[in-house]
Structure 1
Amino acid sequence: MGRLNLTAINVRKTALLNLKAKKTNAAPKWLEIVGDIPPAQILTRQQPMRHPLSKVRTRTLPGGKTEQYIQVTESKKSKSTRGQHLFTPTTLRYEEDSLRRRFFSDHPWELARPRVVLETSGDQYKSADWSKGVQQPGVALSGESVVQRQLWLLENVPDITIPQAYDIARKEFYALRRREETRSRIAAEEARHMGAQFGKSAIQVSMGIENHMYNDWANWSRAVVSEITQKAAAFEGTITAAEDNALKEVADEDGQSPQPAIGAGVFAQQQQRDTRSQRRTV
């Protein structure tokens, strides 16, 4: 366990010793108060409380009536009850966590939607009635709406399962999203009809960037192939058809006349030297 830290308990004693040794000129204002009401000297800590997962469900009784009951699920023995983790706070678990995790794993792009963060009173969810659907007044449509709607269905609809509640809330969410997209598309068409210009879309901009990068890579690859073939031709003293074709393609794209290959120049110079040597010998 190590040594116990008694600094908080001996704080008044330390202040009196500093005052006696004249390390401090004036006594702190809390000196007499701490003497009258000393801090607690309990050196043991209580073990953290366990937080079981509770779920509210509705079931149908044999007489046809319905009843709400609570399912309590005890968590497995965790590391917090062992040795050095004995006093570590336990994790709080709620049913919404699993519902939220499943929805956003199925709809990851919902996290990429822009959100408007405003400083409100924080009680806008008090007036929300999730029995009427996913859309609530004053609450923006998001994945959290689906989670709250699914939770209400699980707690109030008799004998409903998690997949059934998820399908109901998910389909309501899809219908509202389609309505929003249709409304936005109609508004954009009306604006274009009245002369508005929105410029290029995100897909057009990305395709333009992709085409530019592809053209740069194509030019670079042609230049590298031409350089390699020219070096090979200069070393061998010959010229290849692939080199001529590569040089013609580069010249046609740049709008310039094709330049003679390095291999062709070397080969022509070698022929001239051979002709001169033959004339001298004759």
Structure 2
Amino acid sequence: MARGRKFLAAGVHDTAMILSRNPYPPPNRFKAIASIAPAEVLTRPYPIQHSNNPKSSKKPKNLFRPTKIVYPEDRLRTEFYMDHPWELARPRMLLELDGQDARWRRWGRGLMQPGMKLSGENVVQRQLWLMQVKKMSKRAAYDKARKEFYDLRQTEEIENRIAIEEARMVGAYFGKTDLQVGMEMEAQTYNAWKKWASGQIAAIDSERNAAYANLLDDTEESEEVGVVP
């Protein structure tokens, strides 16, 4: 055995066979180890490099560590949500029907896709399609997808406002909005803090007044002791 090398993984199958000869039942992984045994060589081919520059001739490092998977949408998604942080506060549906929802997407037709609610992901996929298919620059594709997103979001807000007005005309009643609830919670927290702060100030003033009164008493006693009749 070479010095500094560890071959423990290569002997897993042999150890499992020895254990199987004992009266104890074989481990559950015995069949998997027998069919897919660990490699007994120390060489390892270069793993597939997931990067934006597949033509790079730079040799990979850390061959025995998993490579970092990078998708072209990652940077586009980061830039969009940096410009539109409030879009992250909108609820999203993460449930898929069969795990192949992406095959029904046709980003050449626009941002709106069947079964997919309008979100920042629509902008990212639309921008990526414009860059890869239409060969547009990153900035031009972003501006085009962003403009389409603004138009659809504005239309969505107008439709919601009209629906609320029509519902109120026939007697519907809506509770407090999220903004109103948040403002009330903020006011309650502020009043509680104001009450606590007033108590703290009163306690500090009381301690200061008591300390000042004790100082006056000590001064008067010192003067009385020093007076000669």
Q: TM-score, normalised by structure 2?
A: 0.71
Say if 1:163 and 1:9 are closer, same or farther in 2 by CA, change over 3 A.
same
The equivalent position to 1:201 in structure 2, one of 158, 173, 177, is 177
Identity of aligned residues (%): 39
Cα shift readout 1:207-238 (whole Å, capped 9, x = no counterpart): 2233333334444444555552696289559x
Q: Normalization by structure 1: what TM-score?
A: 0.59
CA 183–221 in structure 1, closer or farther in 2 if over 3 Å, else same: same
1:239-254 equivalences in 2 (<5 Å):
none
CA contact (8 A) 2:47 2:63 kept: no
Q: Is the 8 A contact 1:9 1:41 kept in 2?
A: no
Query: Are 2:59 and 1:90 equivalent residues in the alignment?
Result: no
Name 1:181's counterpart in structure 2: 157
Matched, 1:4 2:7: yes
Gaps of 5+ in 1: 55-70, 238-282
Q: 1:164 to 1:236 in 2, by over 3 A?
A: same
1:146 aligns with 2:123: yes
Matched, 1:127 2:104: yes
Q: How far apart, CA to CA, are the structure 1 residues paired with 2:133 and 2:196?
A: 66
**Structure exhibiting the larger radius of gyration computed from Cα positions:** 1
Pair 1:100–1:51, CA change in 2 (3 A)? same
- Say if 1:48 and 1:90, in contact at 8 Å, map to a contact too: no
Using the TM superposition, give the Cα deviation of residue 174 of structure 1 relative to its aligned residue in structure 2, in angstroms. 1.0
Q: Once the 2 structures are TM-superposed, how far is the Cα of residue 99 of structure 1 from its aligned partner?
A: 1.4
Query: Could you tell me which amino acid in structure 2 is paired with residue 175 of structure 1?
Result: D
- 1:175 Cα deviation from its structure 2 partner: 0.8
Counterpart contact for 1:149–1:169, Cα < 8 Å: yes
Alignment map for 1:13-28 (pairs within 5 Å) = 14-15=18-19, 19=21, 23-24=22-23
Question: Equivalent residue for 1:114?
Answer: 91
Give distance in 2, aligned partners of 1:143 and 1:8.
48
- Aligned residue for 1:47? 45
Which secondary structure state, in structure 1, belongs to the residue aligned with residue 103 of structure 2? coil
Alpha-carbon distance in structure 1 between the residues aligned to 2:36 and 2:185 = 71
Provide the residue aligned with 1:215 in structure 2.
191
Q: How does 1:134-173 map to 2 (within 5 A)?
A: 134-158=111-135, 160-173=136-149
Distance 1:152 1:229, change over 3 A: same
Shift of 1:148: 1.3
Find the residue that maps to 1:125 and give its secondary structure: helix
For 2:57 and 2:87, locate their aligned partners in 1 and report how far apart those are by CA, in whole Å: 31
Deviations 1:24-78 (A, max 9, x none): 28999x89xx6xx995763324134242545xxxxxxxxxxxxxxxx7452866x
Which amino acid is the alignment partner of residue 104 of structure 1?
Answer: Y
Q: Please give the per-residue CA displacement for 1:237-280, whole angstroms capped at 9, x wherever unaligned.
A: 9xxxxxxxxxxxxxxxxxxxxxxxxxxxxxxxxxxxxxxxxxxx
Q: Which has the higher contact order (CA 8 A, sep 6+)?
A: 1
Q: Go from structure 1 to structure 2 and tell me whether the alpha carbon gap of 1:226 and 1:121 turns closer, same or farther (over 3 Å shift).
A: closer
- Flag the structure with higher strand content: 1
Cα distance, 1:9 vs. partner? 4.2
Q: Which of the pair is proportionally richer in helix?
A: 2
2-side partners of 1:203 and 1:120: how far apart? Answer: 34
Match for residue 74 of structure 1?
56
Unaligned runs of 5+ residues in structure 2 are 215-229
Q: Does 1:104 align with 2:81?
A: yes
Residue pairs, 1:226-241, within 5 angstroms: 226=202, 228=205, 232=209, 236=213
- How many Å separate the matches in 2 of 1:138 and 1:27? 48
| Cα deviation code 1:79-111 (max 9, x no counterpart) | x62xxx331121222222221221122222222
Going from structure 1 to structure 2, the CA distance change for 1:191 and 1:93 (only over 3 Å counts) comes to: same
**How many residues were matched structurally?**
205
Deviation sequence 1:170-225 (CA, Å, 0-9, x none): 11011111111111111112222222222222222222233333334444444555
